[in-house]
Amino acid sequence: MIEFKNAIRLIQKNDILPVYYLKGEDQFLQTFFIEKLCNVIFSGNDIDKSLLIPNEMSGKEILERILSSDLFSAKKLFILRDPQQLKGKAVKDLLDYCSKPVPEHFLVLINDHYMDNSSFSKAIVKNTDPINVTTPFARDLNKWAKFFFQENSKTAEPLIIEEIIEHYGDSIYNIKNEIDKLCLMNNESRIEYDDMNSPSSWMRSRKRWELMSAIGKHDLERSIILAKEIIGDSDTMISLIYPLTAFFQEMLYAKMNNGTFVNPKSYIPLSNSIKNNISTFASGYKKEKIEKSIRELTKIETRQKTSNSNDESDLIHFIYNAIG
Protein backbone atom coordinates (compact mmCIF):
# COMPACT_ATOMS: atom_id res chain seq x y z
CA MET A 1 0.00 0.00 0.00
CA ILE A 2 1.41 3.39 -1.05
CA GLU A 3 0.90 6.31 1.33
CA PHE A 4 -1.12 9.06 -0.40
CA LYS A 5 1.29 11.93 0.22
CA ASN A 6 4.19 9.90 -1.17
CA ALA A 7 2.21 9.16 -4.33
CA ILE A 8 1.53 12.89 -4.79
CA ARG A 9 5.20 13.76 -4.34
CA LEU A 10 6.18 11.25 -7.04
CA ILE A 11 3.63 12.74 -9.44
CA GLN A 12 4.98 16.24 -8.78
CA LYS A 13 8.46 14.95 -9.67
CA ASN A 14 6.99 13.84 -13.02
CA ASP A 15 7.36 10.19 -12.03
CA ILE A 16 4.10 9.08 -13.65
CA LEU A 17 2.77 5.54 -13.79
CA PRO A 18 0.42 4.29 -16.54
CA VAL A 19 -1.96 2.66 -14.03
CA TYR A 20 -3.04 3.71 -10.52
CA TYR A 21 -5.31 1.87 -8.12
CA LEU A 22 -6.97 4.04 -5.44
CA LYS A 23 -8.65 2.29 -2.52
CA GLY A 24 -10.80 4.21 -0.05
CA GLU A 25 -13.94 6.28 0.24
CA ASP A 26 -12.66 9.85 0.61
CA GLN A 27 -14.05 11.74 -2.39
CA PHE A 28 -11.85 14.77 -1.77
CA LEU A 29 -8.61 12.76 -1.80
CA GLN A 30 -9.73 10.96 -4.96
CA THR A 31 -10.41 14.29 -6.69
CA PHE A 32 -7.20 15.85 -5.35
CA PHE A 33 -5.16 12.96 -6.73
CA ILE A 34 -6.75 13.19 -10.18
CA GLU A 35 -6.24 16.98 -10.32
CA LYS A 36 -2.54 16.62 -9.50
CA LEU A 37 -2.19 13.89 -12.10
CA CYS A 38 -3.94 16.00 -14.76
CA ASN A 39 -1.69 18.98 -14.02
CA VAL A 40 1.43 16.95 -14.78
CA ILE A 41 0.14 14.79 -17.64
CA PHE A 42 -1.40 17.61 -19.67
CA SER A 43 0.85 20.48 -18.48
CA GLY A 44 -1.57 23.27 -19.32
CA ASN A 45 -2.77 21.71 -22.58
CA ASP A 46 -6.34 20.58 -23.22
CA ILE A 47 -7.35 17.82 -20.82
CA ASP A 48 -8.63 14.60 -22.39
CA LYS A 49 -10.26 12.84 -19.45
CA SER A 50 -13.00 10.18 -19.47
CA LEU A 51 -15.05 8.72 -16.62
CA LEU A 52 -15.98 5.04 -17.01
CA ILE A 53 -18.60 3.36 -14.81
CA PRO A 54 -19.41 -0.39 -15.04
CA ASN A 55 -23.06 0.16 -14.13
CA GLU A 56 -23.48 2.41 -17.17
CA MET A 57 -21.29 0.58 -19.71
CA SER A 58 -20.50 -3.00 -20.61
CA GLY A 59 -17.06 -4.37 -19.88
CA LYS A 60 -16.42 -4.58 -23.61
CA GLU A 61 -17.28 -0.89 -24.10
CA ILE A 62 -14.98 0.11 -21.25
CA LEU A 63 -12.00 -1.77 -22.71
CA GLU A 64 -12.68 -0.38 -26.19
CA ARG A 65 -12.61 3.16 -24.79
CA ILE A 66 -9.37 2.60 -22.92
CA LEU A 67 -7.69 1.07 -26.00
CA SER A 68 -9.00 3.65 -28.46
CA SER A 69 -6.74 6.33 -29.93
CA ASP A 70 -7.21 9.30 -32.24
CA LEU A 71 -5.17 11.80 -34.22
CA PHE A 72 -6.09 14.81 -32.10
CA SER A 73 -5.06 13.78 -28.60
CA ALA A 74 -2.12 11.52 -27.86
CA LYS A 75 -2.40 11.65 -24.06
CA LYS A 76 -5.58 10.38 -22.48
CA LEU A 77 -6.64 9.89 -18.87
CA PHE A 78 -9.30 7.30 -18.01
CA ILE A 79 -10.96 7.08 -14.60
CA LEU A 80 -12.64 3.74 -13.99
CA ARG A 81 -14.82 3.66 -10.90
CA ASP A 82 -15.67 0.38 -9.17
CA PRO A 83 -13.52 -1.88 -11.39
CA GLN A 84 -14.29 -4.74 -8.99
CA GLN A 85 -17.82 -4.78 -10.45
CA LEU A 86 -16.59 -6.00 -13.82
CA LYS A 87 -17.47 -9.59 -14.64
CA GLY A 88 -16.14 -12.48 -16.71
CA LYS A 89 -13.87 -11.77 -19.65
CA ALA A 90 -13.82 -8.02 -18.91
CA VAL A 91 -11.86 -8.67 -15.71
CA LYS A 92 -9.20 -10.68 -17.53
CA ASP A 93 -9.00 -8.12 -20.34
CA LEU A 94 -8.57 -5.24 -17.88
CA LEU A 95 -5.86 -7.08 -15.95
CA ASP A 96 -4.10 -7.86 -19.23
CA TYR A 97 -4.27 -4.18 -20.16
CA CYS A 98 -2.83 -3.13 -16.79
CA SER A 99 0.20 -5.36 -17.40
CA LYS A 100 0.67 -3.95 -20.94
CA PRO A 101 -0.91 -0.47 -21.06
CA VAL A 102 -1.16 1.67 -24.19
CA PRO A 103 1.60 4.31 -24.34
CA GLU A 104 0.39 7.83 -23.45
CA HIS A 105 -2.81 6.38 -21.97
CA PHE A 106 -3.20 6.71 -18.20
CA LEU A 107 -5.70 4.75 -16.13
CA VAL A 108 -6.91 5.47 -12.60
CA LEU A 109 -8.92 2.69 -10.98
CA ILE A 110 -11.02 3.80 -8.00
CA ASN A 111 -12.47 1.36 -5.49
CA ASP A 112 -14.37 3.11 -2.66
CA HIS A 113 -14.20 -0.04 -0.54
CA TYR A 114 -10.83 -0.11 1.18
CA MET A 115 -11.42 -3.59 2.61
CA ASP A 116 -12.61 -5.04 -0.71
CA ASN A 117 -11.22 -8.53 -1.14
CA SER A 118 -12.73 -9.39 -4.52
CA SER A 119 -10.90 -11.53 -7.04
CA PHE A 120 -10.14 -8.37 -9.05
CA SER A 121 -8.56 -6.64 -6.03
CA LYS A 122 -6.44 -9.68 -5.26
CA ALA A 123 -5.24 -9.85 -8.86
CA ILE A 124 -4.57 -6.15 -9.55
CA VAL A 125 -2.33 -5.64 -6.50
CA LYS A 126 0.10 -8.25 -7.84
CA ASN A 127 1.34 -5.68 -10.36
CA THR A 128 -0.11 -2.35 -9.12
CA ASP A 129 0.45 -1.09 -5.59
CA PRO A 130 -2.82 0.39 -4.23
CA ILE A 131 -2.87 3.97 -2.93
CA ASN A 132 -4.72 4.64 0.31
CA VAL A 133 -7.48 7.26 -0.09
CA THR A 134 -9.44 6.50 3.06
CA THR A 135 -10.54 9.44 5.21
CA PRO A 136 -7.63 10.22 7.57
CA PHE A 137 -7.93 9.49 11.29
CA ALA A 138 -8.02 12.48 13.65
CA ARG A 139 -4.57 11.58 14.97
CA ASP A 140 -3.12 12.08 11.46
CA LEU A 141 -4.64 15.50 10.73
CA ASN A 142 -1.56 17.36 12.00
CA LYS A 143 0.58 15.67 9.34
CA TRP A 144 -2.00 16.45 6.67
CA ALA A 145 -2.10 20.12 7.65
CA LYS A 146 1.69 20.32 7.36
CA PHE A 147 1.47 18.63 3.96
CA PHE A 148 -1.04 21.21 2.68
CA PHE A 149 1.16 24.07 3.91
CA GLN A 150 4.05 22.46 2.00
CA GLU A 151 1.82 22.31 -1.09
CA ASN A 152 1.66 26.10 -0.81
CA SER A 153 5.45 26.30 -0.31
CA LYS A 154 4.95 27.49 3.26
CA THR A 155 5.39 26.38 6.85
CA ALA A 156 3.30 27.42 9.84
CA GLU A 157 3.68 27.84 13.55
CA PRO A 158 2.37 24.71 15.35
CA LEU A 159 -0.28 26.77 17.18
CA ILE A 160 -1.82 27.72 13.83
CA ILE A 161 -2.09 24.07 12.80
CA GLU A 162 -3.68 23.18 16.14
CA GLU A 163 -6.29 25.90 15.73
CA ILE A 164 -7.10 24.96 12.14
CA ILE A 165 -7.65 21.35 13.15
CA GLU A 166 -9.76 22.39 16.15
CA HIS A 167 -12.07 24.55 14.04
CA TYR A 168 -12.02 22.78 10.67
CA GLY A 169 -10.96 19.21 11.43
CA ASP A 170 -14.32 17.71 10.53
CA SER A 171 -13.04 17.02 7.01
CA ILE A 172 -9.74 16.98 5.15
CA TYR A 173 -11.34 19.23 2.51
CA ASN A 174 -12.11 21.95 5.07
CA ILE A 175 -8.57 21.80 6.44
CA LYS A 176 -7.04 22.24 2.99
CA ASN A 177 -9.52 24.98 2.05
CA GLU A 178 -8.70 27.04 5.14
CA ILE A 179 -4.95 26.53 4.74
CA ASP A 180 -5.15 27.64 1.10
CA LYS A 181 -7.02 30.80 2.11
CA LEU A 182 -4.56 31.56 4.89
CA CYS A 183 -1.59 31.09 2.56
CA LEU A 184 -3.11 33.39 -0.06
CA MET A 185 -3.29 36.17 2.51
CA ASN A 186 0.35 35.82 3.59
CA ASN A 187 3.40 36.48 1.45
CA GLU A 188 5.97 35.16 3.92
CA SER A 189 7.31 31.62 3.59
CA ARG A 190 6.50 30.97 7.26
CA ILE A 191 3.18 31.98 8.79
CA GLU A 192 3.27 33.08 12.43
CA TYR A 193 0.32 33.10 14.80
CA ASP A 194 0.31 36.92 14.96
CA ASP A 195 -0.25 36.99 11.18
CA MET A 196 -3.73 35.56 11.79
CA ASN A 197 -4.88 38.55 13.83
CA SER A 198 -5.27 40.92 10.88
CA PRO A 199 -8.79 41.40 9.46
CA SER A 200 -9.51 38.60 6.99
CA SER A 201 -12.21 36.13 6.04
CA TRP A 202 -10.27 33.48 7.98
CA MET A 203 -10.24 35.68 11.09
CA ARG A 204 -13.95 36.47 10.71
CA SER A 205 -14.79 32.76 10.62
CA ARG A 206 -12.66 32.16 13.68
CA LYS A 207 -14.42 34.91 15.64
CA ARG A 208 -17.81 33.51 14.62
CA TRP A 209 -16.95 30.18 16.24
CA GLU A 210 -15.70 31.98 19.34
CA LEU A 211 -19.00 33.89 19.50
CA MET A 212 -21.06 30.70 19.25
CA SER A 213 -18.94 29.07 21.92
CA ALA A 214 -19.47 32.08 24.23
CA ILE A 215 -23.24 32.00 23.59
CA GLY A 216 -23.28 28.25 24.21
CA LYS A 217 -21.50 28.82 27.54
CA HIS A 218 -23.87 31.68 28.53
CA ASP A 219 -20.89 34.04 28.68
CA LEU A 220 -22.72 37.32 28.10
CA GLU A 221 -19.73 39.64 28.53
CA ARG A 222 -17.52 37.70 26.11
CA SER A 223 -20.39 37.39 23.63
CA ILE A 224 -20.96 41.15 23.54
CA ILE A 225 -17.24 41.87 23.09
CA LEU A 226 -17.03 39.41 20.20
CA ALA A 227 -20.24 40.73 18.63
CA LYS A 228 -18.83 44.26 18.51
CA GLU A 229 -15.52 43.00 17.08
CA ILE A 230 -17.27 40.95 14.41
CA ILE A 231 -19.43 43.83 13.20
CA GLY A 232 -16.44 46.17 13.50
CA ASP A 233 -14.50 43.85 11.14
CA SER A 234 -17.12 44.52 8.44
CA ASP A 235 -19.11 41.33 8.99
CA THR A 236 -22.89 41.70 8.77
CA MET A 237 -25.86 40.48 10.74
CA ILE A 238 -27.44 39.01 7.61
CA SER A 239 -24.33 36.86 7.01
CA LEU A 240 -24.54 35.59 10.61
CA ILE A 241 -28.19 34.50 10.36
CA TYR A 242 -27.45 31.17 8.64
CA PRO A 243 -24.63 29.93 10.95
CA LEU A 244 -26.43 31.16 14.09
CA THR A 245 -29.65 29.46 13.01
CA ALA A 246 -27.73 26.25 12.30
CA PHE A 247 -26.13 26.52 15.75
CA PHE A 248 -29.47 26.77 17.57
CA GLN A 249 -31.10 24.16 15.34
CA GLU A 250 -28.35 21.68 16.19
CA MET A 251 -28.79 22.45 19.90
CA LEU A 252 -32.52 21.84 19.49
CA TYR A 253 -31.81 18.55 17.74
CA ALA A 254 -29.52 17.49 20.58
CA LYS A 255 -32.15 18.54 23.14
CA MET A 256 -34.85 16.50 21.41
CA ASN A 257 -32.57 13.46 21.28
CA ASN A 258 -31.64 13.47 24.95
CA GLY A 259 -28.37 15.24 24.40
CA THR A 260 -27.05 12.88 21.76
CA PHE A 261 -25.58 14.81 18.88
CA VAL A 262 -25.50 12.84 15.64
CA ASN A 263 -23.46 14.30 12.81
CA PRO A 264 -25.82 15.44 10.05
CA LYS A 265 -25.36 14.15 6.51
CA SER A 266 -26.04 17.56 5.02
CA TYR A 267 -23.65 20.51 5.15
CA ILE A 268 -23.87 22.47 8.40
CA PRO A 269 -21.87 25.74 8.56
CA LEU A 270 -20.37 25.06 11.99
CA SER A 271 -16.76 24.42 12.92
CA ASN A 272 -15.61 21.11 14.33
CA SER A 273 -15.00 22.70 17.74
CA ILE A 274 -18.65 23.83 17.88
CA LYS A 275 -20.11 20.55 16.62
CA ASN A 276 -18.18 18.56 19.22
CA ASN A 277 -19.69 20.64 22.04
CA ILE A 278 -23.28 20.94 20.82
CA SER A 279 -24.65 18.52 23.42
CA THR A 280 -22.85 20.37 26.23
CA PHE A 281 -24.14 23.73 25.02
CA ALA A 282 -27.68 22.36 24.64
CA SER A 283 -27.70 21.05 28.21
CA GLY A 284 -27.50 24.64 29.47
CA TYR A 285 -30.56 25.78 27.51
CA LYS A 286 -34.25 25.04 27.87
CA LYS A 287 -35.94 23.73 24.72
CA GLU A 288 -38.35 26.66 24.69
CA LYS A 289 -35.46 29.15 24.85
CA ILE A 290 -33.76 27.55 21.86
CA GLU A 291 -36.99 27.59 19.83
CA LYS A 292 -37.57 31.24 20.74
CA SER A 293 -34.03 32.14 19.59
CA ILE A 294 -34.61 30.45 16.22
CA ARG A 295 -37.84 32.40 15.76
CA GLU A 296 -36.05 35.62 16.73
CA LEU A 297 -33.40 35.01 14.06
CA THR A 298 -36.14 34.64 11.45
CA LYS A 299 -37.62 37.98 12.53
CA ILE A 300 -34.21 39.66 12.40
CA GLU A 301 -33.60 38.29 8.89
CA THR A 302 -36.92 39.75 7.69
CA ARG A 303 -36.16 43.09 9.34
CA GLN A 304 -32.64 43.18 7.87
CA LYS A 305 -33.99 42.61 4.36
CA THR A 306 -36.85 45.10 4.56
CA SER A 307 -35.51 48.04 6.59
CA ASN A 308 -32.36 49.95 7.53
CA SER A 309 -31.72 47.83 10.59
CA ASN A 310 -28.50 48.32 12.58
CA ASP A 311 -26.23 45.24 12.50
CA GLU A 312 -24.55 45.71 15.88
CA SER A 313 -27.81 46.60 17.62
CA ASP A 314 -29.62 43.57 16.18
CA LEU A 315 -26.81 41.17 17.11
CA ILE A 316 -26.38 42.45 20.67
CA HIS A 317 -30.15 42.50 21.23
CA PHE A 318 -30.33 38.90 20.02
CA ILE A 319 -27.50 37.83 22.36
CA TYR A 320 -29.18 39.45 25.38
CA ASN A 321 -32.43 37.61 24.61
CA ALA A 322 -30.70 34.29 23.92
CA ILE A 323 -28.52 34.26 27.04
CA GLY A 324 -30.65 36.29 29.42
pLDDT tens digits along 135-162: 888 889 999 999 999 999 999 999 889 8
Strand order in the sheet with 105-111: 49-52, 76-81, 105-111, 19-23, 130-132
pLDDT for residue 193 is more than 90: no
Question: CB neighbours of 2 closer than 8 A, spacing ≥ 6?
Answer: 129, 130, 131, 132
User: Does the structure show a pLDDT above 60 at 260?
Assistant: no
Q: For the chain, state the CA radius of gyration.
A: 25
Length, in residues, of the chain: 324
Higher pLDDT: 185 or 6? It is 6
pLDDT at position 265, please? 42
Q: What string of H, E and C letters represents the secondary structure of 109-170?
A: EEECCCCCCCHHHHHHCCCCCEEECCCCCHHHHHHHHHHHHHHCCCEECHHHHHHHHHHHCC
Does residue 120 surpass a pLDDT of 80? Answer: yes
More confident residue, 258 or 200: 258
Tens digits of residue pLDDT in 77-105: 999 999 999 999 999 999 999 999 999 99
pLDDT at 164: 85
DSSP annotation string for 197-245: GSS-HHHHHHHHHHHHHHHHTT-HHHHHHHHHHHHHTT--HHHHHHHHH
Residue 104 per-residue DSSP state: T
Residue 57 pLDDT exceeds 60: yes
> pLDDT value at position 22?
97
In the chain the domains, ranked by start, together with CATH numbers, are: 4-132 (3.40.50.300), 138-197 (1.10.8.60), 204-323 (1.20.272.10)
Helices and strands in the chain, H and E counts? 15, 7
pLDDT given for residue 249 in this prediction: 92
